[in-house]
Amino acid sequence: MRPLQGPSAKRGVGSYASGILHGLIEEGFDRNLTLLLDSDVPVPPLPVGEYRLASSRRRYRGQLAAYEEAVVLGSDLARIHPDLYHAIDLKLPGRSPVPLVVTLHDLIPWAWGGPRMRGERFRFWLGRRFLRRADVVLAVSKATADDAVRFSRVDRKRIRIVHEAAGDEFKARPGAPDRVRRRWGLQPGYLLFVGALDARKDPAALLRAWGAACASTQDLELVIAGEPGPQAPPNMGAAHRLGHVADGELADLYAAAGCLLFPSRYEGFGLPCLEAMSCGCPVAAFRNSSIPEVVDDAAELVPDGDAEALGRAAAALAKAPERARRSGFERAKAFGWRRTARQTIAAYEFASARGALR
């Protein structure tokens, strides 16, 4: 659970850590859990449960963290002596003394590439290499499973597709438009983007799509929620940039929006799309990577990179959202953290049995 102790807590891996822990507790599996935390960092807020805590100590938390993990984590596991270890990111032990389960969120630094990914490729190079040693890889989508085979040469027989889910906070609640109006002065029906403005999220396409949407429907505002990130452009025009918002407030932003405008060029899963559908927010996105798998036919998908088509689709959804809202609600029912937890427990059992045959 160490991703909950740093900046990752506000990003996808943090949402996963929190969601899977809640799901395992709700499935009654908490008494079997030991949570590994960094002793030099404050303990994060954790749900009530019968799990145990174990501590570790690290010197590095930046680019070199995965390299230190490769050397030290095996010793921690030998000391704690669990039945197996579940890594929820790519900071993996060079040698694991116990069966190893790894959740793979994405291999975007290799799958999407580009010069801006050079630092991320260095940061997670060892994790990509060690991934093939895992007893079970839990890929969060079929697209990510395919990337594991392609870029890490993982045996497909060891891969299980176990989807993420939206948190319980993400649902439509009465009064969301009024709360959004009072909190930020926003009129309902705006276009919403959620996430960091990284290069792969294509901020330039976001602005072009907004322009195309305004050409067909005047006065559509663009709202950007989330930490901008180090790759964010300095200027996003007249868009409303809210920064990080709590999950409850984000759910209200989804519910009051006319459409989620999502120009990402590559996703391991695409959690904002699922969160939006859970809150009754229509989704317009590029057709690429895992996004079709997540939204199925409940969203409007356009050819990858066609920002003008994306903007026109978003404007149409914002103008007549009811059908998309209903479809999104239905699609979101296919995902849930308890279901994810049950599939994860089954993977634990398989990994343990496989480890016993070593």
pLDDT digits (tens, 9 = 90+) for 122-147: 888 999 999 999 999 999 999 999 99
State the pLDDT at residue 357.
Answer: 54
The stretch 314-343 carries a mean pLDDT of 97
DSSP 42: P
Nearest to 106 by CA among 123, 89, 86, 122: 89
Of 283, 299, 337, the C-alpha closest to 140 is 337
Tens-place pLDDT, residues 189-240:
999 999 999 999 999 999 999 999 999 888 899 999 999 988 899 999 999 9
Q: What is the CA radius of gyration of the chain?
A: 20
Question: Taking 60 as the threshold, does the pLDDT of residue 262 lie above it?
Answer: yes
pLDDT surpassing 90 at residue 321: yes
Bridge pairing between strands 300-303 and 283-287: parallel
Q: What number does CATH give the domain 2-165+337-356?
A: 3.40.50.2000
CB 154 within 8 A of CB 144: no
Lowest pLDDT segment from 15-24, 87-96, 140-149, 347-356? 347-356
Tokens of 126: 């060892």
Spatial distance between the Cα atoms of 170 and 337, rounded to a whole number of angstroms: 12
Residue 358 pLDDT? 58
DSSP conformation class of 117: G
Instruction: Assess contact for 268 and 103: CB atoms under 8 A.
Output: no
Strand partners, 35: 53
Residue 356 has a pLDDT of 57
* Residues facing residue 191 across a β-bridge: 222, 259
Q: pLDDT tens digits for 52-101?
A: 999 998 877 777 888 888 999 999 999 999 999 999 999 999 999 999 99
pLDDT tens digits, 291-300: 999 999 999 9
Torsion region of 270: left, alpha or beta (phi above 0 gives left; psi -120 to 50 gives alpha): left
Could you write out the DSSP letters of every residue in 223-237?
EEES---TT--S--T
User: At residue 9, does pLDDT exceed 80?
Assistant: no
pTM for the complete prediction?
A: 0.94
59: helix, strand or coil: coil
**What is the per-residue pLDDT for 59?**
77
- Hey, where are the domains in the chain? 2-165+337-356, 176-332
Question: Taking residues 264-274, what's their average pLDDT?
Answer: 97
Nearest CA among 103, 80, 149, 54 for reference residue 341:
103
- 176-332 CATH pick, 3.40.718.10, 3.40.50.2000, 3.40.50.300, 1.10.10.10: 3.40.50.2000
* Contact call for residues 201 and 232 (beta carbons, < 8 A): no
